[in-house]
Structure 1
Amino acid sequence: MTKTPPLQGTKADWLADRALRGLIASVMQLPYQSRVPMMGSALRRAIGPLVGYRKRAEENLAFIYPDMSPTRRRQIAEGVCDNFGRTLIENYSHEEFGDWIKDCEATGAGIAALEYARAKKQPVIFVTGHYGNHEAPRQVLTRMGYEIGGLYRPMANPYFNEHYSKTMTSWGGPVFEQGKRGTMGFSKHLKSGGMGTLLFDVNYDRGELLPFLGKPARTAFSAAEIALRFDALVIPYFGKRLDDGLSFSVDLDAPIKHTDPVQMMTDISSSLEKRIEDAPEQWFWIHRRWKNKSGKSAELSGT
């Protein structure tokens, strides 16, 4: 019997994972409607500032919006941490999360195109970003009878990824880990007429520089390239958190026109940019989105 190789991570990764596991286990004991705001508060007030999330969000905001006041940057960064905490615990509570948003109806220009694609068994790639809760659209569409898989990028902390990945893979359609094997599995799923989700808004060191919120960011072209290869419909979709902090609206944009990978990824990025401009606190400004190949953060270097 083959043994699973030990996880390769730093002592800091292990300690951070132990702390998060303990917090998640404690918060999961609360009723759902108390659990979600509690986790948001923990990230906003304690964990976010302690581990540098709030600071990084403020630095990214200053890079993109240099004329924004420090007070406004702090306000948005705190909202980012709060949304992150809520999203995290919602995804660990995926069954209750699905029950909570069971009355949410998907809307938008992409609905009719999606229904037509399903009828003729055309592959569909949903593209989205770390905005609101990116799993809300998959929850709603799964309830509507669509089987949606995905291709995900593992978390940098391998100890945390070991259990967080199960929040994506334990329900819905087949979900594959990014890499040669995962991409092959995802492609095979689409080729058979399947549907899957790709998150495109993280730095990809081998990607091309495309404008994102007005600054060059290395972007993976996977969504566009796979769509062109399999004639897949590409639909941006988003789950926006509503004012009560627990409910969502789910919107499907019109399909992205098949042109070339550069233009398609530019159009896909534009769909997310509009959402961020509408509610900046709902996007994950904690990511090192603007980073060059040397690893130096563009948000700090100004390049």
Structure 2
Amino acid sequence: MSLKKHKQKHKLLVLAEFVPFWCLYMFVRALPLKAAYFLTRRLFSLLYIVDFRHRKRSQKHLIHAGVAKNRSEAGKIAHRAFASFGMLLAEIIKMDQHFKPEKVIIRGDEKSREEAFGTGHNRNVIVVTAHYGNWEMAGTAWATLSGIPMVSVMRPFNNPLIGRYILKNRTSGVHETVNKHGCVRDLLKAIRQKKNVALLVDQHAGSSEGVETLFFGQPCRTHMSPALLHLKTKVPIVPMISRRADDDFNFEFVLGKPIEYIPTGDKEADIKNVTQMYTSALEKLIAELPEQWLWAHRRWLNIHRKRRSPATA
């Protein structure tokens, strides 16, 4: 994995960003759930109007991916995607007040459900997931429902003060996080300890971290860590999204078919094949209800990205 260094923000800038976040955080925590959802949805609907760059980028990505046929349809889906992200903010802030793992319904592929959640004979798996719905609660919920501890990968926050508030609701006694940089060794250790591991693989990967795949029919570069782990350990990969079911803290784990790949002896081809398999699986899951995915991200290599500097996020 690449050890790309991030510039540290000046302390005054960190504080200037944190103060309004903290005020919003405390205000939302004090609100009833419905009111909190209403507020954060409206805030992100306003952001959709004023944030021209991400609004247009989301719309273009929806058309580029073939999810929307025209600008009008793309605008409606993109607007709902912004509102969904607003709901996520309320859920992050109020997670300890309202979230219960038993409110998560497990849907999707029967074999994956049996592998990961079968009573008495389930096993640890490699979960590949996306920035979709509410991914923040997924680690703790999965570990609780499966009865097997979870280790997931965390990207360091640009603002450590904000990160501290978000992280305190992400982890638990059954769910721990490891830093993205050099995570493969930590995840291998977790797998050998019979723990579940989870990785978000729907964002652009640098040339040293990923391989080229197709996502919604367009070229992108996808993180290959799950493929490396699977080929090394033979532990099955389960593609999954955490879909929001309503505005009452009910969610669904929607599972794709488990990936259990038989190596061909060509390591490079095997890595690429497995990576494409889980990329395609996530595409299929996201396409069922696309407005809960993060469409503003520069996912593809052939739109909003210069190919001569592919490692730029």
Normalised-by-shorter TM-score class: 0.7 to 0.9
Residue 216 of structure 1: CA displacement? 0.9
Equivalent residue, structure 2, for 1:60: 61
Q: How do 1:94-243 residues align onto structure 2 when only pairs under 5 Å count?
A: 94-99=95-100, 102-108=102-108, 109=110, 110-115=112-117, 119=121, 123-144=124-145, 145-157=147-159, 160-170=162-172, 172-180=174-182, 182-206=183-207, 207-243=210-246
SS in 2 for 1:165: helix
Residue 191 of structure 1: CA displacement? 1.4
Residue 28 of structure 1: CA displacement? 1.6
Task: Kindly provide the CA deviation profile for residues 69-90 of structure 1, in whole angstroms up to 9, marking residues without a partner as x.
Answer: 2221111111111111211331
TM-score, normalised with respect to structure 1: 0.82
Q: Which residue identity is paired with 1:294?
A: S
Residue 169 of structure 1: CA displacement? 2.9
Question: Structure 1: how far apart are the matches of 2:215 and 2:171?
Answer: 29
TM-aligned CA distance change 1:174 to 1:278, over 3 Å = same
Q: How do 1:234-253 residues align onto structure 2 when only pairs under 5 Å count?
A: 234-244=237-247, 246-253=249-256
Q: Would the aligned equivalents of 2:96 and 2:169 in 1 still touch at CA under 8 Å? A: no
Q: Would the aligned equivalents of 1:176 and 1:183 in 2 still touch at CA under 8 Å? A: no
Give me the CA root mean square deviation: 3.0
Q: Which residue identity is paired with 1:112?
A: E
Question: Structure 1: how far apart are the matches of 2:49 and 2:169?
Answer: 21
* Residue-pair matches, total: 289
> Between the two proteins, what is the percent identity of the paired residues?
25
SS in 1 for 2:102: coil
Q: Would the aligned equivalents of 2:144 and 2:174 in 1 still touch at CA under 8 Å? A: no
Residue 119 of structure 1: CA displacement? 3.7
Q: Would the aligned equivalents of 2:178 and 2:186 in 1 still touch at CA under 8 Å? A: yes
Verify: 1:87 aligned to 2:88, yes or no.
yes
TM-aligned CA distance change 1:49 to 1:26, over 3 Å = same
Name stretches of at least 5 consecutive residues in structure 2 with no aligned partner: 1-6, 263-269
Question: Structure 1: how far apart are the matches of 2:40 and 2:58?
Answer: 18
Question: Structure 2: how far apart are the matches of 1:80 and 1:242?
Answer: 15
Residue 225 of structure 1: CA displacement? 0.4
TM-aligned CA distance change 1:295 to 1:113, over 3 Å = closer
TM-aligned CA distance change 1:242 to 1:67, over 3 Å = closer
Q: Would the aligned equivalents of 2:212 and 2:220 in 1 still touch at CA under 8 Å? A: yes
Q: Which residue identity is paired with 1:176?
A: V
Q: Would the aligned equivalents of 2:184 and 2:229 in 1 still touch at CA under 8 Å? A: no
Q: Would the aligned equivalents of 1:288 and 1:297 in 2 still touch at CA under 8 Å? A: no
Q: Would the aligned equivalents of 2:67 and 2:287 in 1 still touch at CA under 8 Å? A: no
Moved more, 143-152 or 76-85: 143-152
Q: Would the aligned equivalents of 2:103 and 2:251 in 1 still touch at CA under 8 Å? A: no
Equivalent residue, structure 2, for 1:3: none
SS in 2 for 1:28: helix
Name stretches of at least 5 consecutive residues in structure 1 with no aligned partner: 1-6, 299-303
TM-aligned CA distance change 1:167 to 1:243, over 3 Å = closer
TM-score, normalised with respect to structure 2: 0.80
TM-aligned CA distance change 1:170 to 1:115, over 3 Å = closer
Residue 137 of structure 1: CA displacement? 4.1
Question: Structure 1: how far apart are the matches of 2:9 and 2:310?
Answer: 19
Question: Structure 1: how far apart are the matches of 2:169 and 2:52?
Answer: 23
SS in 1 for 2:243: strand
Q: Would the aligned equivalents of 1:134 and 1:239 in 2 still touch at CA under 8 Å? A: yes
SS in 1 for 2:126: strand
Equivalent residue, structure 1, for 2:276: 266
